[in-house]
Chains A and B, each alone.
Chain A
Amino acid sequence: MSERFSADILVVGAGPAGLCAAAEAAQYGWKVTVLDEYMRPGGRLLGQLHQERGGNWWNGIQEAKRLADSATRAGVEVRTGVSVTGLEQASGVAEGWDVWTDSGRFRGRQLLLATGAAESAIPVPGWTLPGVMSIGAAQVMTNVQRVRVGNRGVVIGMSVLAMAILSELRLAGIEIAAVVLPPRHPLSGDASIPSQVFASLLRFAHLAPRPLFRMGARLVQPSVLRKLALAGYPKRGLKLMGTPLQLRRTALEIIGDGGVEGVRVADVQPNGSAIPGSERVVEADFVCIAGGLYPLVELAAVAGCPFRYIPQLGGHVPEHDERMRTPLPRLFVAGNITGVESAKVAIAQGRVAGLSMAMSMNEAYGSASVEGRRDSRGAELLDGENALRGTASLESTNVLRGAASFESENAFRGAAPLNEKYAARDGAPLEEKLQTALEAVKQARREALIQFQPGIVEVRQEMYAKSR
């Protein structure tokens, strides 16, 4: 069997990070294939719809199309509807990665994992009934599939994410009877305690004086939160686009025969304890559960990548440096898999990863004009066993090959100046572009008005300082 490479660079995940990384790397002449199991490219970006500070709308479908088109124009092959089942380091040929999918095996020299985040649930009795879905599911069904998730729903879980998606559902004309808290049990934690939920929402008010963010509505403005504070947890709840946010009400159980018919709720004290005699049933035919997001790292785990547990980033994240390199040779990460942040951060990280991969491809396989590589070099690289062509010093190449720790990666940094050799089409040296891209990530992070967790800037700084 031929040991041909399918591509120079494989990317798993056609979300904002994966698409941007692919488009970037492809500009330097590398053949890039992106794999995604969804029907369309865009990842979680697809469902997003909100107003930004200036009043303009961030339309995820349009943004995703823009990114996918950029990638395609740069020569990237984007394969949707492909599920990755596993991966391993390619054996028997010059180094690479084999990625196994339900559409066969793909082999690439370098691999970027940009699989994003998954939703973590808060279980509620009755949550397996048809009609109960994660709040992300409702977002996709509404904005991407344009199907009504039901006639009247209840959202369980009051987080910033929940309120953002609530606004999107309301914008689409979906009726939501109430947003309530999850029931008190060992897995709901602070999410079931009104005073804690309120405190975490109020954190965003402290980013004032400017309005925090507008997500299609007058959402989470300081004035709304101040009202909440002044009102001292009103039982009836404050309304957001017509839906009461009921901080003092908890869902006890989702009920129905064969599917959701209602939610049994009860009032609670600010400390979460139930108020006897307050039980009632809210009629509904769908329920959205709003937990949180956690990095989807399963492929990094099967690759053997080490992890760090960082709660501010959503849980376990693969070890990586600022340039999106993991300790494993030729394995990169970008986007929410590195920690849950915003789409703009994912886009900026994708650019970094693309540049980083292009630079290490140049380092290992040499540089030629972009046109030359595409026409002839590209084919040679994909076919041949002799991967070492016109490289810089062997030393730096060996560093790339053998590197399992960041220390030897530092040797790569100290190698002979690469600037002149690896000039991009527009003449700017790659290293310089990379520095600009790194700065852009920090900028995107600073500008992100929603930080699902505080402390992200600090933990990132600490993580990247350790990896130097």
Chain B
Amino acid sequence: MDDRDLIVCRCEEVTLARLAETFASHGCSSREAKLRTRAGMGICGGRTCRPLIEQLTALHGGLEQDATLPLKVQQPVRPVTFGNWGASS
């Protein structure tokens, strides 16, 4: 199987090849991999691919499984239009 054919982050279409190459080049944390590739930063907020990114990070030796989530969760946790955001505050 060609890793370039395997999409990991559906929202941003980040492939396994791109993620593997990023981990290999930068030896990075999951957060850094996310910032470099945009995996986990799409509109679903990482809900679909977060476990996959964490799994990959662990495989590359970069994950501490502890009291904090490796990938930060930011509000809003559902997409909000600017119109609604202004109206509800």
Contact = CB atoms under 8 A, between A and B. Distances in A.
Contacts of B66: 307, 309
Interface residues of A, number: 42
A151 interface: no
Interface residues of B, number: 35
Nearest to A118: B47
A102 B52 contact: no
A194 interface: no
Contact of A86 (B16, B68, B77): B77
A84 B77 contact: yes
A307 B56 CA distance: 20
B51 A185 contact: no
Contact of B67 (A118, A123, A319): A319
Nearest to B85: A85
B6 interface: yes
Contacts of B13: 128
A100 B68 contact: no
Contacts of A86: 75-77
A36 B13 CA distance: 29
Please report whether the interface of chain B is mostly helix, strand, loop or mixed according to DSSP: loop
Interface stretch (A161-169, A170-178, A298-306, A420-428): A298-306
B83 to A, nearest CB: 11
Contacts of B5: 125-126, 253
B3 interface: yes
A272 to B, nearest CB: 12
Interface string B54-79: 01100100000111110011111110
Nearest to A88: B75
Given A123-B7, A186-B59, A306 B78 contact: no
Given A86-B75, A120-B51, A186-B59, A104 B88 contact: yes
Please report whether the interface of chain A is mostly helix, strand, loop or mixed according to DSSP: mixed
Contacts of A298: 45, 47, 73, 77
A134 to B, nearest CB: 9
Contacts of A320: none
Contact of A185 (B16, B49, B67): B16
B76 A123 contact: no
B88 to A, nearest CB: 6
Given A86-B76, A100-B88, A298-B45, A187 B69 contact: no
A258 to B, nearest CB: 17
Contacts of A121: 48-49, 51-52
A127 interface: yes
A187 B55 contact: yes
Interface of B: 1-3, 5-8, 10, 13, 16, 20, 45, 47-49, 51-52, 55-56, 59, 65-69, 72-78, 80, 84, 88
23 contacts: A37-B78, A86-B76, A87-B75, A100-B88, A102-B80, A121-B48, A123-B6, A123-B52, A125-B6, A127-B7, A128-B7, A185-B6, A186-B16, A187-B6, A252-B1, A253-B1, A296-B47, A298-B77, A302-B74, A308-B67, A309-B65, A316-B65, A319-B67
Given A185-B1, A298-B77, 11 more contacts: A85-B77, A121-B52, A127-B7, A184-B1, A185-B16, A186-B16, A253-B5, A297-B69, A298-B45, A298-B47, A309-B66
